[in-house]
Amino acid sequence: MIDYCYGIVEDRNDPLKIGRVRVRVHGYHSDDKGKIATPDLPWSHVIMPVTTAGLGGFGNQHNLVEGTTVFGYFRDDDMQDFVVMGVQQGITQAGYKETITDELLIRSVDKGFNDPRRKTQADYANTNDGLNPPSAPARPNELTSSLDTAPQLLKDTGIKYDGSGSKREEFTEADKTLPYYPLVVDATDVNVFTTGDAKYESRDMSEQISNAKSTATPLYPYNKAHYTESGHIVELDDTRGNERISVEHRTGTFYEIDKDGNQIHRVVNDNYTVICKDNELYVGGKVNIKVLGDAKVTVGGKTDVSSTKDLTVTAPNIRLFGNTIKLNS
């Protein structure tokens, strides 16, 4: 008979790079790192869906992070070979239940069943997760993940449309609710884009181009959203009457296709397009181009401009240069 149990992921930096994680299992491991520190937990394999090949470097990887609650079982009698079968989502709390006494304890990197990462690698010195633990013999390995190398969300500082571009800032230590990155206490483990609680005001560009703004009004549970640790967002929104597809980079560059098939696209800094052969553009309606700075067109071959109606060129000064200039009426 298989005994299924729950645990907390405490490390995902697998030295073999095959997707294993270290899991502290409730009922089998103590939260006392003096008894078993995070680097001493055995590596656990993760069961993946059949949509990944699992062979030859093809397919997907899991999205487990330090602090994730997982479900699985031990496939050996010595309780050393734990297999992760799934994830349990809930509401992250400031405390956690101690395994034996059921006492509610405050989260701490010094205790098990938590995200164990410290600010820098040097901060592991003389801790149970370091090379020279105070209550155990020296070990050959220590945790190699720290918060200064972890993915980081950016602070939304607004986007400028005057040609100066945009650069979202990293959060300072004063902004963070550490040491539990990326946990947000008392918040659901389901991302805010899926729950419908996300704000989309930053995707409004109607001052620059009329109607150029996000139409997002997602309803739970119809928005299939993937939100990464550093702030990338992919949304496949099936909300009835407002079906969308949206991809946003952590800096604010994004594109969105609305329910009618209209697309808006924003690049918060420079944009480069390289086409190695021909390029054809067909527009069934009007074309409006507004450039705040200078504009230059360089053509290596012949150039033809044709209009079936009037052609108007307006400028304070107009200069024409050429060996031969012909004006035919």
Q: Let me know if 272 is exposed, middle or buried by CB neighbors in 10 A (0-12, 13-18, 19+).
A: exposed
What residues have CB less than 8 Å from 4, skipping those under 6 apart? 71, 72, 73, 85
DSSP strand pairing (154-155 vs 21-25):
unpaired
Q: Is-contact 59 38, C-beta < 8 A?
A: no
Q: What is the pLDDT of residue 101?
A: 58
The fold for domain 1-150 equals OB fold (Dihydrolipoamide Acetyltransferase, E2P) (2.40.50)
Residue 180 pLDDT greater than 70, yes or no:
no
283, 180 contact by CB (below 8 A):
no
Report the amino acid identity of residue 147.
L
The predicted-structure confidence for 133-155, as pLDDT tens digits, reads as follows 887 788 888 898 888 888 888 87
- Chain-wide mean pLDDT for the chain? 88
Please say if the pLDDT value at position 228 is more than 50.
yes
How much is the pLDDT for 178?
A: 43
User: b vs e for 311-327, b when ≥16 Cβ sit within 10 Å of the residue's Cβ?
Assistant: eeeeeeeeeeeeeeeee
pTM for the full predicted model: 0.87
Tokens representing 246 are 């949206």
DSSP state of 58: -
Q: What are the residue boundaries of the structural domains of the chain, listed by start?
A: 1-150
Q: What is the pLDDT of residues 33-72, one digit of tens each?
A: 999 999 999 999 999 999 888 888 888 899 999 989 999 9
Model pLDDT for residues 59-114, shown as the tens digit of each residue:
889 999 998 999 999 999 999 999 999 999 887 766 655 555 566 666 788 889 88
